[in-house]
A = this chain, B = another copy of it.
Amino acid sequence: MTTYYSGNTKAYVAVDCIIFGFDDNKLKLMLGKRQMDPGRGEWSLYGGFVGTDESVDEAAHRVLYELTGLKNLYMRQVEAFGAVDRDPGERVVSIAYCALIKISDYDHRLYEEHGARWVDLDQLPPLYSDHREMVQKAITLLRKSINSEPITNSLLPDYFTLTQLQHVYEAILGENIDKRNFRKRIMSIDLVEKTEMIDKTTSKRGAALYCFRDKRSEQHHI
C-alpha cells in the first residue's frame, strides 16, 4: 500500500458537464433535477465523481455518455471549482467541462429517461451550488474560441444553411451580425462547402445547404 502523502487529506473529485445544444435559433443548456442529497430536486448540471481508474477527462466523457449515449463529442475543460463550501454536503472539488451536442441529430428519449431537459440559456432557473458560475465561464470560453475551435461544427447538423450558421454565431456571441459581412467572412476562411442540396423548410425560395469542409471536425458517435 502506498502512503506517500498520508499526512494530507483527500477530497472528492467530481466533474460537471455544461452541455450546450442549438435549436430554434437559441442556445440551450441541458439540465436535470438533482437526484441525490444534499440538494435533491434542485436544477443542476449533470455530474459525477471521478473514479479510481479513470482520468478526470475520461470521467467527464463517461458522464456525458451515460446521459446521452454519445461518445467523442466536443468537450473541453472549463475550470476547476474548489471553494471550501461549494458543495453543501462534503468537500468536493469539481472540474467543469463544456460539451456541445447536435440536438437535432438525436432523439431525446435517453435524455428524458434521466429527467434531463433542454433549457433556454436566457431562462435558466436557479442552479445548484456554483453551477451558474460554471455556465457563465463556459459561455465566456465559447465566445473566445468560436473562431479557433470546431464549436459551430459541433452544434449544427451535418448539412445546414448559412443563415443557421449565422444564428449559431449570434446565439453564442449574443449580438446580431450583418448578413453580408458574415457570409463574406465565412467564405473567406474556407470553413464550409456548398452542396447541391436545398433546404426548403424555412423559406419558399429555399436555401443552399452547406457542410463543414474540414473532415476532421466530423464527430463519430456510437
Chain A interface (Cβ < 8 Å from any Cβ of B): 2, 4-5, 8-13, 36-38, 49-57, 59, 77, 79-84, 89-93, 95
Whether the Cβ atoms of A89 and B55 lie closer than 8 Å is: no
Residues of B with C-beta under 8 A to A11: 10-13, 50
Which of A13, A50, A57, A92 is most buried by chain B, counting CB atoms within 10 A of its CB? A13
User: A92's closest neighbor in chain B, by CB?
Assistant: B5
One of B4, B54, B77, B81 near A84 (C-beta < 8 A): B54
Distance to closest chain B CB from A83 (angstroms): 5
Whether the Cβ atoms of A84 and B53 lie closer than 8 Å is: yes
Distance to closest chain B CB from A61 (angstroms): 12
Residues of B with C-beta under 8 A to A5: 12, 49, 89-90, 92
User: CA separation between A77 and B12, bound complex, in Å?
Assistant: 19
What copy number does this chain have within its complex?
2
Whether the Cβ atoms of A95 and B83 lie closer than 8 Å is: no
Residues of B with C-beta under 8 A to A4: 36-38, 89-90
User: CA separation between A80 and B49, bound complex, in Å?
Assistant: 15
Whether the Cβ atoms of B51 and A9 lie closer than 8 Å is: yes
Q: Could you list 24 examples of A-B contacts with CB < 8 Å?
A: A4-B36, A4-B89, A4-B90, A5-B92, A8-B49, A9-B49, A9-B51, A9-B52, A10-B11, A10-B12, A11-B11, A11-B12, A11-B50, A13-B82, A52-B84, A53-B84, A54-B84, A55-B82, A56-B80, A56-B83, A59-B82, A77-B79, A80-B95, A93-B93
Residues of B with C-beta under 8 A to A83: 55-57
Distance to closest chain B CB from A172 (angstroms): 18
User: A8's closest neighbor in chain B, by CB?
Assistant: B49
With contacts A57-B82, A59-B82 known, what are 11 further pairs, Cβ within 8 A? A2-B89, A4-B89, A9-B52, A10-B11, A10-B12, A11-B12, A50-B93, A52-B84, A56-B81, A57-B83, A79-B80
